[in-house]
Amino acid sequence: MTKTIRELAADLAAERLTSVALTQEMLARAEAHRAEGGHAYVSLDGEQALKEARASDALRAAGVVASPLAGIPISIKDLFDVRGQVSSAASLALTDAPPAASDAVAVARLRAAGAVLLGRSNMSEFAFSGLGLNPHYGTPRNPHDERRVAGGSTSGGAVTVALQMAAGALGTDTGGSIRIPSAFCGLTGFKPTAATVPLAGTVPLSRSLDSAGPIANSVDCCAILHAALSDQELSTEAPRLAGLRFGYTADFVGAGVDAQVRQAFDAALAQLRAAGALVEQFDFPELLQLPAINGGGGLVAAEAWHWHRELLEARGAQYDQRVAARIRRGQQQGAAEYLDLLDARAHLRAIAQQRLAPYDAWLMPSVAIVAPEVAALEADDATFFATNGLVLRNASVINFLDGCALSLPCHDKGELPVGLSICGLNGRDARILAIARSVEALLRER
């Protein structure tokens, strides 16, 4: 049985388990996964992880427990700096970069909370895809169906959690890169307001849209990890669902949803109504402007080009060429186009404040489709780019609005996973986490 971080912490506190034993167990699963051809981890740091676990057990014996994360193994996405290691962002173009002189802020905060760092998880190269394919380090496969993708860009991180090779994963989210793999792998993922977790010491994709957050097995797990990452107090608030107001829209994020996702989403809405929540459809037609706004590659391409332009010139042949092509779209944008994007974003954020004002949270399918199969995506560029766009569509709305969102599993047992996203505007992180606790408890009754 998969245990939550809080359950593992209770086992450690009651001396039913040691951090060393837990770390050895997860390392053994990770090694077995690699031996069987799995690609969840780019690298494992077993010796250092066990050293950290021994230190954690010694501190606990002395009465020192930094947080509920003390002694808990966590995987780190391969774009976060870890002192003494190379942050390659799962690309060959950075494999000979110098080792990091210090930890990224997010990594340092996990260390301060007592977490054990197991290794670097695989990802879409430079975090620039919602599907998780990687031609350099292999493509992590979906734990529920190995023919399918795990979702990107935090693909490996999701698989480490789903296969109990870590109790949680540190990921990033620029257009859905935490919520998409969470939805595809039947996990819980939280994308906080971007400014909540400092990104110093990470390989960036888009300085305007990047955010760092957790993938884990429950809302409580995500809340524990987010509290450490954001250096905030942990809250366990879970409001009554009766009387809460939820809105959903058919505009943009509700279109083109496949049958299984639609069925799971509608069933979740029905459960919320039965629990006494007010669930109503509202109009948000301005979202239909997003394809035109981002038609030239959007903020992601513009800001990725700024960071990558010299590296692409020197080592473009070592890139995944699908990633390189998307980055190079930013080269076609000038200052005027970039400022137009910023203005469009500010305009849409102001409209969202009005549209969402009546609601405690905005609900949407995390992804419009279930996890697609790898073979078709690898074989054809047109299929890859069309599917990637559809997979990113819903989640990327929240990044563009600078909001926060949590994806919860909402599918029936035995079916391919489907995610329900509970979304809020900038700074509503604590409220969204609290509401998500209550929604999670309701969905688990099904």
The answer to whether the beta carbons of residues 351 and 343 sit under 8 Å apart is no
As a whole number of angstroms, the distance between CA 37 and CA 33 comes to 7
Q: Which residues are CB-contacts of 441 (< 8 A; sequence separation ≥ 6)? A: 238
Work out the burial of residue 382: count CB atoms within 10 Å of its CB; fewer than 13 is exposed, 13-18 middle, 19 or more buried: exposed
Where on the phi/psi map is residue 262: left (φ > 0), alpha (ψ -120 to 50), or beta?
Answer: alpha
**Alpha carbon 320 to chain centroid distance?**
21
Is residue 3 part of the annotated active site? The answer reads no
As a whole number of angstroms, the distance between CA 260 and CA 174 comes to 26
Residue of 237, 261, 250, 198 whose CA lies nearest to 362: 250
Which residue in the list 19, 153, 155, 208 is annotated as catalytic? 153
Which residue in the list 19, 56, 67, 77 is annotated as catalytic? 77
For residue 102, which phi and psi values (nearest 5 degrees)?
Answer: -150, 165
Q: Give per-residue burial for 45-63: e unless 16+ CB within 10 Å, then b.
A: bbebbbebbbebbebbeee
Tokens 């296969």 found at: 163
The answer to whether the beta carbons of residues 89 and 125 sit under 8 Å apart is yes
The answer to whether the beta carbons of residues 167 and 73 sit under 8 Å apart is yes
Is residue 87 part of the annotated active site? The answer reads no
Which residue in the list 177, 211, 230, 407 is annotated as catalytic? 177
Tokens 């700024």 found at: 306
Over its C-alpha atoms, the chain yields an Rg (Å, rounded) of: 20
Tell me the residue type at 266. Answer: D
For 332, half-sphere exposure in the C-beta direction (CA atoms, 13 angstrom radius) is 11
Q: Which two tokens stand for residue 260?
A: 């299984």
Q: Which two tokens stand for residue 349?
A: 């954020």
As a whole number of angstroms, the distance between CA 64 and CA 55 comes to 11
Give start and end residues of each alpha helix (H) in 68-218: 105-112, 155-162, 179-185
Is residue 51 part of the annotated active site? The answer reads no
User: Among all residues, which ones are annotated catalytic?
Assistant: 77, 153, 177
